[in-house]
Amino acid sequence: DALLAVVARDAVELLTDPGARALLRQCEGDNCRRLYLDTSRGHRRRWCSSEVCGNRERVARHRRRAAVAARA
Ligand SMILES: [Zn+2]
C-alpha cells in the first residue's frame, strides 16, 4: 500500500547513506520486523517505538515474571 511504499523508498535512500546505515536497526518487538534509525544517545534503543513495541515488551516481561511468581 501507499504507506509501505513510502517506507520502502525511505529505506532505499537510507541504505545509500553510510552514516544512516550504521544506525539502522531492526525492532526487537514480537511480531514486529520494522526497521528504524537508532538516534538515541548510546545507541541502546531496541524498538521502532518505545510507546508501542517497547511498552508491549515491558508488559510481556511483567506478565512472565508474574507467571513465575504464581508458580513458586
Ligand atoms: Zn516494533
State mean pLDDT over 48-71.
91
Burial class (CB in 10 A: 0-12, 13-18, 19+), 48: buried
Domain that holds residue 44: 2-71
- What residues pack around ion ligand 1 (CB closer than 5 A)? 27, 29, 32, 34, 47-48, 53
Q: Give residue 23's pLDDT.
A: 87
State mean pLDDT over 61-66.
94
Show the cell assigned to 3: 504507506
Q: Give residue 17's pLDDT.
A: 81
| CATH code, domain with 17 | 1.10.3300.10
Specify whether the CB–CB gap between 45 and 38 falls below 8 A. yes
Q: How confident is the model at residue 4 (pLDDT cuts 50, 70, 90)?
A: confident
Q: Which residues pair with 37 in a beta bridge?
A: 24
H helices, E strands: number in the chain: 3, 2
Number of domains forming the structure of the chain = 1
> Can you tell me which residue has the cell 541502546?
44
**Whether residue 33 has pLDDT greater than 90:** no
How many angstroms does the Cα of residue 50 sit away from the middle of ligand 1? 8
